[in-house]
Amino acid sequence: MLFKRIQAKGVSIFYRTAGDPKKPALLLLHGFPTASHYFRQLMPLLAKDFYCIAPDMVGFGQSESPDRRDYTYSFENETAVIAAFLEALAIDQYYLYVFDYGAPVGFRLAMAAPEKILGIISQNGNVYEEGLGSKWQARKAYWQQPTDEGRATFAKAYDPKTIKAQYLGGEQPGTVGPDGYCLDIFYRETIADFAEKQNDLILDYRSNVAAYPDFQRYLRDWQPKLLAIWGQNDPSFIWPGALAFQRDVPTAKVVALDAGHFALESQAQTIAKEILLTFTEERKRNAL
């Protein structure tokens, strides 16, 4: 694996790669509160068949985290930076792995340039109302009437105990190591103004829910090869959100995992196997 930086729309983006650049590109987009290290187990498993590229989004991990006075933390801006990142790397077509926050970014990229998408893996990357767990009801109320008091209630989302619980929730005891959540907690403590930047994204998440019909229209119109592989015990993006993909893409493959939100932490081997079965086997058949 290699670790690099590149400028995208004036922002320094850290990213990691694995595999041969001559292989089909696979863009891996992380969620909250993690970064590209979420894919540390998966990328070596796919490097023989894909050129894996995993950036840290703006305000996450090792990427630059501009001052809020100079940069608006929104999903549109996150998308614009990743689009510029792909352009800087001269990635013309790619497979897309989306997780959590990575889903609205990835689906915005797909809508903007559908001809570039070779296939999509959605791992607890929701684009359906029925995929929103119960916690989203409070967030919807906040979106309708944002207040300083309401904003302050999300501070507990960044508490180290909460981050750890997000990783361990829905998992079998002993299957998730401390590496991922400890690194996320480190970034939470060291990125300047982390909580306020994340609060900006929580408020802006309403734009993603508003865009769900557009994401779904993209799926219906373009019918991408799609694997929805889901930690079935996720309380945030719940199992019906995985099944909903088949409504718009009838050929979508939907796989349930006995895992929580951060399913890659315990299920990297299984997820890699399903990706290879779904995407590389088809390429091999087409090559015959």
What's the pLDDT at 287?
52
- Strands across the sheet containing 94-98: 2-8, 11-18, 51-55, 25-29, 94-98, 117-122, 226-231, 253-257
Digit-coded pLDDT (tens) for 104-149: 999 999 999 999 999 999 999 999 999 999 989 999 999 999 999 9
Task: Return the structure tokens found at 132.
Answer: 């929103």
| pLDDT over 90 at 153, yes or no | no
Task: Return the structure tokens found at 145.
Answer: 């009437």
pTM of the model: 0.96
Helix (H) or strand (E) segment spanning residue 89: none
What number of residues does the chain have?
288
| pLDDT over 80 at 282, yes or no | no
Task: Return the structure tokens found at 149.
Answer: 């008091």
Catalytic residue among 45, 261, 268, 278: 261
User: Which of the listed CATH numbers 3.40.50.1820, 1.10.10.10, 2.40.50.140, 3.30.450.20 matches domain 2-287?
Assistant: 3.40.50.1820
> Where residue 74 falls among pLDDT bands split at 50, 70, 90?
very high
C-alpha distance from residue 50 to each of 117, 118, 272 (Å): 14, 12, 11
Nearest to 89 by CA among 188, 4, 190: 4
What's the pLDDT at 288?
45
Q: What percent of the chain has pLDDT over 70?
A: 97
Q: Does 261 qualify as catalytic in the annotation? A: yes
Nearest to 130 by CA among 218, 248, 48: 248
What's the pLDDT at 286?
57
Task: Return the structure tokens found at 139.
Answer: 């967030």
Mean of the per-residue pLDDT values of the chain: 96
